[in-house]
Amino acid sequence: MPHPETWLKVTPSGLFCEPGGFYVDPLRAVDRAVVTHAHSDHARPGHRAVLASEATLALMRTRMGDEQAGLMQQTAAWGERVRIGEVTLWLEPAGHVLGSAQVAMEWRGSRVVVSGDYKRAADPTTPGFVVIPCDVFVTEATFALPVFHHPRPESEIARLLESVALFPERTHVVGCYSLGKCQRLVALLRAAGWDAPLYLHGAHMALCETYEALGVPLGDLRPATVAGKDALVGAIVLAPPSAVADRWARRLAEPVVCAASGWMRVRQRAKQGGVELPLVISDHAGWDELNATLDEVAAPEVWVTHGREEALIHAAAKRGIRGRALRLLGYGEEEA
Ligand SMILES: [Zn+2]
Ligand SMILES: [Zn+2]
């Protein structure tokens, strides 16, 4: 059985599967790409052929237009086997954002799974992570430090709603990524009983429409920019992290600046961003989830694409798992 190092290679364009002739989440435009999910650091524009889940391709088209999403677009259903060159490939859910997939590849009896970004916590807007046993598991390590323990998102949403009840004359503006986090927050708020309209920054609106078209109901969403100031008193507004701290937010009624991110675990980050109410809600696996996943996929070897690889590789080594840092530059900024 050939070792995966001999057929899955780190190149300046990203991970290249030689016997298949394709890249996984290439960092620049290539001839043939397999894309795990539609965040901008993984889904780059301008590839010739793109294979991805149906939802990922739909979200890519919303973000970059039909042509930039791939001249040839091929979807694969969960678990559907696809032959590319000499390689058999299939996708399984990664639980990160809608459409997010792990890429499983087999060549001559050796199996590699590239997880892309993933989480293990339940998320009403996306199917949950599926464990695929493999010879090499390629993982992210965004939050691979023991300090990154993510609380239950429901309890963070409860804190937000408590604050809204406490300050009914103010507008709560929540900084969140436009793909994934925004829709998850909406769904969590609906599940917590918030039926009132939610107001969105323009950047968030189009992706919410695509989520709804893909069968994820989000309720009454309205553009914050056209809403009168009075309508926003006591309301919740969702906006990109870059917008909450600037002029855009200042037109709101005495805004309470909130942010929903795994990084809100780090007090310094919240302070720097002027965040009054930090909500620790992450779409990436925390320390416990990362380690549990390594145990469950039972791969003798783990490759770490980006993030805090030292701690994860050290923890893996203690359990007899060989670790390798790929140091792929270019991942990590989801909304670059
Ligand atoms: Zn991502
Ligand atoms: Zn990423």
How many angstroms separate the CA atoms of 42 and 35, rounded?
A: 7
Distance 291 CA to ligand 1 centre (A): 19
Q: Nearest Cα to 29, choosing from 12, 17, 53?
A: 12
Share of the chain above pLDDT 70, in %: 99
DSSP β-bridge partners for residue 14: 11
Confidence tier at 335 by pLDDT (50, 70, 90): low
- In this structure, which residues have their CB less than 5 angstroms from ion ligand 2? 41, 117, 331
- Write out pLDDT tens, residues 147-173: 999 999 999 999 999 999 999 999 999
pTM: 0.96
Distance 165 CA to ligand 2 centre (A): 34
Distance 164 CA to ligand 1 centre (A): 29
Distance 183 CA to ligand 1 centre (A): 14
Q: Kindly state the average pLDDT of the residues 254-279.
A: 92
Nearest ligand by distance to the CA of 25: 2
Distance 41 CA to ligand 2 centre (A): 6
- Write out pLDDT tens, residues 103-120: 999 999 999 999 999 999
Nearest ligand by distance to the CA of 101: 1
Distance 231 CA to ligand 2 centre (A): 35
Nearest ligand by distance to the CA of 180: 1
